[in-house]
Amino acid sequence: MTTQHDVQERIDALERAFGPLDDPANPLGSESLVAADAQGTAPPGAERILDAFGLNAEFVPAELGGRLRRMDVLGRILRPVFRRDASLGFGYGLSCFFAAVPVWIAGDAEQRALVARLLLDGERVAVARHEVAHGNDFVRDELRAEATDGGLRISGSKTAIANAARSRGLVVFVRTSDAAGGRSHAVLLVDRAALPAGQITDLERHTTTGMRGAQFGGLSFTGCVVPAGAVLGADGDGYQLSLRSSLLIRGLIPSIVLAGVDTALRTVAAFATRRRDDGRSSLDVRHVRDVLTGAFLDLLLIDCLALVATRSLHLLPRQMSAYAASAAYLAPRLAAETMDEMAAVLGEESFAVSGTYGMFQKQLRDLPVTSLGHAGSAGRQVSILPQLPHFARHCWFAEDQAPAALFRPHEDLPPLDLPLLSLLGDGDPLAATLVACTDWLESAGPTAPGREDRPLLRALAQAFTGELRDLTKAFAEIDPGDRTALASPHTFALADRYTLVLAAACCLGIWREQARDGTDAFLADPAWPSAVLHRLGRRLGLPLPDRPAAGEQRVLAEALARLHGRRSYDLYGSALA
């Protein structure tokens, strides 16, 4: 069992180890991080912090000797790192987790034990994906494997692999057949230390615009023979295994995106609250206040997505596919848009490459790489679309809502059951939660929490429930087997609207549980869900009540209190160094 106290202790310990980000004397403060990024290197001493903390243990399941028990906790553990440097967070460890996931899913006992031992011993594991599954390769190249005496011979090269030269373990997607279809690839686990010299050659490092400190390099395989037992699962499982791995990986994207924007918002808020010689500040301008409020609301919403995407892996393994894809699709979009709005507040300071505001420019550069790029975004929509006609016909307005534990961040979870994870959901209980929350708001009596704001939030929830009804009609008219209809721009636009409806459901579900519990006064206040739904409703073009000015003032007050109180801009409000 993972207690909340244990979780918070680990997060706080990592945060303290890095020290204050805004302290010029801190060797791991923003000035040092920005300087290291300019040189394309890891911040001096930062990896020693993560070695001492044992970050790799967070990527290894507890039954294999690690600390990975809950995916929502893993997302939170990553935040102190990604708030400072995405290159460090991805290059040191998260890329290792991405590589290890196929092993946790399909590896046999020996393969799982090998990767667990490598990570727990401080080694690294890299993944070389094929272009169809990844969609973000810098060039189109791939590896092949052919049967030979004693095993498989790998040939070819890949030019964009995170930590290629630093990793002893390699998880390699290889083509094993020229036949079309989904059975043409396999996944191999390779231990470089077990191979004769010269079979794998490190290629030159590939520079990137964002995450400059991360080491993307290439590998060339020449006469590289690995035993037949190197195959994860079975030959032909490569494409399926890539898709199944994405179910775990996608849920983490909102957390790492959120962390970078948290630092950006803190930078902009500090800029906006500076007092000029005349005693005024940028905060006196309504547009600036709106941008800060909106950025904080977007971060709260992103964390709602993160919470549901990760906890649904444990609680709703057969339904979580659409939730992980929606979270990974929507969170980077929200983050990019709010970063653009904040850049306008900073003005010319948003271009600073050093000094007080250099960190904002760094986070702006890192964001597209952190979110795994535009091609991944399209892939996430594609994975959602085939499920929606089924939901419209059989699930929406016809099934039970999601369990309350899905929306309770401090409640423990059952263990991950990876074989249960399904690529196509058999239901959509999160959409049912939207309907249930709307009904709850309509029926709650005058003693309900936040009763003075109940009419506004009720009207907003009703508007989103109406949007779900419209989506039900639209997708019920689409034949699930009609690939042309599913691939049309109109249908993609409908899928985009669906992700916004899910986002509203996540927000309402979390607020309702907080309102019932009452332990966090801000999260129990209907001001923030009202403001979030209002922003989402504007994106959808829904008819909306008047803008909730008083509620947004309370949200802005909370954002400024967290700035001055050194607390994180997420659902947890964790203490910062």
Cβ–Cβ under 8 Å, residues 89 and 369: no
Main-chain dihedrals φ then ψ at residue 22, nearest 5 degrees: -95, 15
Q: Which residues pair with 200 in a beta bridge?
A: 221
User: Where is average pLDDT lowest: 42-51, 347-356, 525-534?
Assistant: 347-356
The pLDDT tens digits for 380-412 are 888 999 999 999 999 999 999 999 999 999 999
Residue 314 confidence (pLDDT):
98
Structure confidence at residue 180 as a pLDDT band (50, 70, 90): low
In a domain, 412, yes or no: yes
The pLDDT tens digits for 415-452 are 999 999 999 999 999 999 999 999 999 987 544 445 56
Q: Where are the alpha helices (DSSP H) in 347-387?
A: 358-370, 373-384
What would the DSSP string read from start to end of 473-534?
HHHHTS-TT-HHHHTSHHHHHHHHHHHHHHHHHHHHHHHHHHHHH-SSHHHHSTHHHHHHHH
The pLDDT tens digits for 273-314 are 999 888 899 999 999 999 999 999 999 999 999 999 999 999
> What's the CATH code of the domain at 133?
2.40.110.10
Pairing of strands 216-227, 185-191: unpaired
pLDDT at position 132 over 50: no
SS3 158: strand
Comparing CA positions, the residue from 203, 200, 204 lying closest to residue 223 is 200
Comparing CA positions, the residue from 98, 244, 217 lying closest to residue 157 is 217
Residues 159, 83 share a domain: no
Main-chain dihedrals φ then ψ at residue 197, nearest 5 degrees: -60, 145
Averaged over 532-551, what is the pLDDT?
90
Tokens of 253: 């994207």
> What's the CATH code of the domain at 34?
1.10.540.10
User: Where is average pLDDT lowest: 90-104, 137-151, 239-253?
Assistant: 137-151
pLDDT at position 379 over 90: no
CA distances in angstroms from 101 to 106, 107, 129, 250, 385, listed in the order given: 9, 9, 13, 12, 24
Residue 276 confidence (pLDDT):
86
In a domain, 448, yes or no: yes
Higher-scoring residue by pLDDT: 294, 196? 294
Main-chain dihedrals φ then ψ at residue 126, nearest 5 degrees: -115, 155
Residue 43 confidence (pLDDT):
82
Residues 281, 141 share a domain: no
Averaged over 213-226, what is the pLDDT?
86
Main-chain dihedrals φ then ψ at residue 440, nearest 5 degrees: -65, -40
Domain end call among 74, 106, 123:
123
Pairing of strands 125-128, 169-175: parallel
Residue 447 confidence (pLDDT):
47
Distance CA(309)–CA(248), nearest Å, equals 9
State which residues form the domain around 348: 251-565
Distance CA(244)–CA(241), nearest Å, equals 5
pLDDT at position 207 over 90: no
Main-chain dihedrals φ then ψ at residue 190, nearest 5 degrees: -120, 130
pLDDT at position 97 over 50: yes
Residue 312 confidence (pLDDT):
98
In a domain, 546, yes or no: yes
Averaged over 123-134, what is the pLDDT?
72
- Give the H or E element holding residue 175: strand 169-175
Residue 134 confidence (pLDDT):
40
pLDDT at position 172 over 90: yes
- Amino acid of residue 499: T
Residues 6+ apart with CB under 8 A from 574: 8, 11, 12, 15, 79, 567, 568
CA distances in angstroms from 282 to 349, 385, 500, listed in the order given: 14, 43, 31
Collect contacts of 563-569 with beta carbons under 8 A, ≥24 apart: 563/266, 563/269, 563/270, 563/273, 568/79, 568/83, 568/262, 569/258, 569/261, 569/262, 569/265, 569/266, 569/296, 569/299, 569/300
Structure confidence at residue 187 as a pLDDT band (50, 70, 90): very high
Cβ–Cβ under 8 Å, residues 286 and 554: no
Residue 465 confidence (pLDDT):
98
As for how many domains the chain has, the answer is 3
Residues 74, 195 share a domain: no
Residues 471, 353 share a domain: yes
Q: Rounded to an integer, what is the distance from CA 417 to the centroid of its chain? A: 20
Question: What percent of the chain has pLDDT above 90?
Answer: 71
Residues 388, 423 share a domain: yes
In a domain, 58, yes or no: yes
pLDDT at position 105 over 60: yes
Structure confidence at residue 137 as a pLDDT band (50, 70, 90): very low
Domain end call among 91, 123, 155:
123
Tokens of 332: 């980077």
Residues 119, 34 share a domain: yes
Residue 565 confidence (pLDDT):
97
Comparing CA positions, the residue from 244, 465, 481 lying closest to residue 386 is 481
Residues 452, 330 share a domain: yes
In a domain, 527, yes or no: yes
Residue 350 confidence (pLDDT):
86
Residues 439, 420 share a domain: yes
In a domain, 114, yes or no: yes
Residues 112, 131 share a domain: no
In a domain, 245, yes or no: no
pTM for the model: 0.94
Residue 469 confidence (pLDDT):
98
Residue 2 confidence (pLDDT):
67
Comparing CA positions, the residue from 377, 123, 166 lying closest to residue 257 is 377
Averaged over 103-107, what is the pLDDT?
97
Residue 546 confidence (pLDDT):
84
Distance CA(113)–CA(316), nearest Å, equals 27
Tokens of 156: 């070819």
Comparing CA positions, the residue from 199, 203, 147 lying closest to residue 175 is 147
- Amino acid of residue 96: C
Mean of the per-residue pLDDT values of the chain: 90
Distance CA(536)–CA(526), nearest Å, equals 15
Averaged over 307-325, what is the pLDDT?
97
Distance CA(40)–CA(44), nearest Å, equals 12
- Give the H or E element holding residue 538: helix 527-540
Distance CA(536)–CA(544), nearest Å, equals 10
Cα angle for residues 137, 138, 144 (degrees, 5° grid): 55
In a domain, 423, yes or no: yes
Residues 229, 83 share a domain: no
Radius of gyration of the chain, Cα coordinates, nearest whole angstrom: 24
pLDDT at position 153 over 80: yes
Residue 136 confidence (pLDDT):
42
The pLDDT tens digits for 235-248 are 989 989 999 999 99
Domain end call among 67, 93, 123:
123
Residues 262, 229 share a domain: no
Residues 288, 432 share a domain: yes
Cβ–Cβ under 8 Å, residues 103 and 111: yes
Distance CA(313)–CA(323), nearest Å, equals 9
